[in-house]
Homo-oligomer: A and B are copies of this chain.
Amino acid sequence: MKKLKRSARLVEMTQYLLARPHTLISLTAFADRYQSAKSSISEDLAIIKEVFEGEGIGDLHTLAGAAGGVRFIPKCRKDQALDKIKGICRQLEQPDRLLPGGYLYMTDLLGQPGLLQEVGQMFATAFADRDIDAIMTVETKGIPLAHATSLYLNVPVVIVRRDHKVTEGSVVSINYVSGSNKRIQTMSLARRALREQSRVLIIDDFMKAGGTVQGMIDLLNEFRAVVAGVGVFVESGEVDNEERLLHDYTSLARLTEVDLKSRHIAVTPGNFFKEEAQ
């Protein structure tokens, strides 16, 4: 890369850091990349750090010493996130989302890149301090959420299939009971998709009693992998605590009321916002 002026270097460093979250970049690597003294690089990083932390883009962790460097940890500010989730809740409350059986149509929302980035940032903030090797989800609607989160945590996504596909090689399958309709279903994961001992963050779009998530946890056991966290976009508040299979999870929104007759839906911020929302 040709030598840049400070102003141009700040632009380049900003995009370089944003594209490499949760990655340690040494001061030496930056000094070489920009043919600049480490002292200049440190000054640049101080400016970037102030903007990133002030504007709710994320933290810039600097490590001092010979092996020193910098790591960008994407984090949204809780107050900004709460504003955004309230907007999402209003969208989820639109009466025409109500489908037969009390299901909520939200496929359109899960296709919008802007919303996915916001939700990905929230999950990445919730689990920023966990040690995570991979994100797991089950097809189909959890996939965009898992990938949006993976961009900010910089770990790969592993997709559990609801059927066995020929293009996956040997797979591990388990049966599970979906808590909401009590049907026995199958989910499977390619043997080579996940290393043993992996620490896995589970992400899904909707959780009622938690049967599907519990199925993924059982599947992780088959791989001798460990649950590093569970994040759900929308949880159903219509489940009493006894029925709930799972208690340790982070939800971004909570479906508190569905009235099929009046077509009234109520959605509030989830437990991620617990202190702020009360």
Cα A24 to Cα B164 in complex, Å, equals: 45
Most buried by B among A8, A113, A193: A113
CB within 8 Å of B: which A24-57 residues: 47-48, 50-52, 54-55, 57
Determine whether A65 belongs to the interface, using a CB cutoff of 8 Å to chain B: no
Q: From B6, B117, B166, give the contact of A103 (CB < 8 A).
A: B166
Tell me which residues across on chain B come within 8 A of A114, comparing CB atoms. 154
Whole-angstrom distance between the Cβ of A153 and the nearest chain B Cβ: 8
Determine whether A7 belongs to the interface, using a CB cutoff of 8 Å to chain B: yes
Tell me which residues across on chain B come within 8 A of A18, comparing CB atoms. 15, 18
Cα A103 to Cα B168 in complex, Å, equals: 9
User: Interface stretch among A104-112, A208-216, A242-250, A259-267?
Assistant: A104-112
A8-B47, A99-B167 known; A151-B113 Cβ under 8 A:
yes
Cα A55 to Cα B1 in complex, Å, equals: 8
A144 touches B157 (CB 8 A): yes
The residue in chain B whose Cβ has the minimal distance to the Cβ of A140 is B139
B158 touches A111 (CB 8 A): yes
A4 touches B111 (CB 8 A): no
A99 touches B166 (CB 8 A): yes
Tell me which residues across on chain B come within 8 A of A167, comparing CB atoms. 99, 103-105, 107, 141
Tell me which residues across on chain B come within 8 A of A19, comparing CB atoms. 117
Determine whether A11 belongs to the interface, using a CB cutoff of 8 Å to chain B: yes
> What 1/0 mask marks residues of chain A from 91 to 119 whose CB sits below 8 Å from any chain B CB?
00000000111011101100111101100
Cα A141 to Cα B161 in complex, Å, equals: 11
A6-B7, A139-B139 known; A107-B14 Cβ under 8 A:
no
Tell me which residues across on chain B come within 8 A of A111, comparing CB atoms. 134, 150, 156-159, 193
Cα A50 to Cα B10 in complex, Å, equals: 12
Determine whether A148 belongs to the interface, using a CB cutoff of 8 Å to chain B: yes
Whole-angstrom distance between the Cβ of A15 and the nearest chain B Cβ: 6
Determine whether A75 belongs to the interface, using a CB cutoff of 8 Å to chain B: no
Interface contacts beyond A107-B193, A143-B143: sample of 6 additional A-B pairs, CB < 8 Å, sorted by A: A1-B55, A11-B11, A11-B47, A15-B18, A15-B55, A113-B155
Q: Hey, which bits of chain A sit against chain B, CB under 8 A?
A: 1-2, 4, 6-8, 10-12, 14-15, 18-19, 47-48, 50-52, 54-55, 57, 99-101, 103-105, 107-108, 111-114, 116-117, 134, 139-141, 143-144, 147-148, 150-151, 154-159, 161, 165-169, 190, 192-193
Leading 5 A-B pairs by shortest Cβ distance = A111-B156, A14-B14, A111-B157, A11-B51, A103-B167
